[in-house]
Structures are given as structure tokens and as C-alpha cells.
Amino acid sequence: MKMIDLPPIWLAAFAGIAWVQATELPLGLSFGGAWADFAGGLLVGGGIVLALLAAVEFRRHKTTIVPHQNATALITSGIYKRTRNPIYVADILILAGLILRWDAVLSLPLIPILVWVLEKRFIVPEENRLRRSFRADFARYENAVRRWV
């Protein structure tokens, strides 16, 4: 079951719900056209860039990107100087962008729900593992860099 419990799977599920809502239950609601398409594209593109920047840091530090595994290094460089969770921020940006692009107005509540799922299922357990593994280094990092943005 842990193979299925990964952030991209959760993102895909929430995006799927938003897509179904937009295509099957739009109820005549709309964000209003071209600006939403443009903003949605920027959010999705920004999320992809953010995730790639984070992946580069994982590769550079030769540690796992898989959330349920123990890290062999504490990453505090690159995008990790700005946020402790750039990949999760990217997931939220991508979902918000897709909701805008698809005009899935009724799916807006999925954004805070995904934030909650990511925190409970992944961020809190990951930070607990990092706290145990990297003690003082993680404490300093946690005090210097915000969880989200």
C-alpha cells in the first residue's frame, strides 16, 4: 500500500476529481476566460519548475526523494533555502493551476484539502524523521526556513 501512498498519486487523484467536476458538473460557473487560462498555465509551469529545482538538489546531495524513506542528507541549499517543502508547494501550484485552466470552480476546496493531506501524510512524518536523524542541524534549518513559503 505504501507504493500507492505517494504525493504524485494524491495530486493525480485530486486533479482527476477537478477534471471530472469541470466536465460533468460545471453548473455554469466560470473563472472568466483568458486570464484564468493564463494564470493557470503560470501556476502549472511554476509548479513544474519548482519540482525540478527540488529534484536537482536531491540528486546533488545523493539522497532519496521518496517521502517514506529515510534521508541520508539534510538538504538546505538551492530552493531549500526558501522553503522546506518545495515539491509540496509545487503540487499545490499545479492543482490550483489545473483548477483554473479547467474552469473547475467547485473544485477550489480541493486545494486546502490537498494541503492538509500533504501535511498529515507526508510533511509531519518526514520532518519527524529529519529531526531524529539530523537533530541540531534540522532544528537550525527549521527555525530559519518556513515550512511552505
Look at residue 136 in the predicted model and tell me its pLDDT: 98
Residue 21 belongs to some domain of the structure:
no
Three-state secondary structure readout of the chain:
CCCCCCHHHHHHHHHHHHHHHHHHCCCCCCCCCHHHHHHHHHHHHHHHHHHHHHHHHHHHHCCCCCCCCCCCCCCCCHHHHCCCCHHHHHHHHHHHHHHHHHCCHHHCCHHHHHHHHHHHHHHHHHHHHHHHHHHHHHHHHHHHCCCCC
pTM of the model: 0.95
Over residues 110-128, the mean pLDDT reads: 98
5 domain residue, yes or no: no
pLDDT tens by residue, 48-102: 999 999 999 999 999 999 999 999 999 999 999 999 999 999 999 999 999 999 9
In a domain, 78, yes or no: yes
pLDDT value of position 85: 98
134 is a domain residue:
yes
- Which pLDDT belongs to residue 3? 58
Length of the chain measured in residues: 149
Residue 48 pLDDT = 98
pLDDT at 142 over 60: yes
Q: Has residue 20 been placed in a domain?
A: no
If pLDDT is split at 50, 70 and 90, which confidence band does 32 have?
confident
pLDDT of residue 33: 84
Query: What percent of the chain shows pLDDT beyond 90?
Result: 95
C-alpha dihedral (83, 50, 54, 60), degrees to nearest 10: -130
Within a domain: residue 8? no
Within a domain: residue 13? no
What range does the domain containing 46 cover?
33-144
Count of domains in the chain? Answer: 1
Is the residue at 128 inside a domain? yes
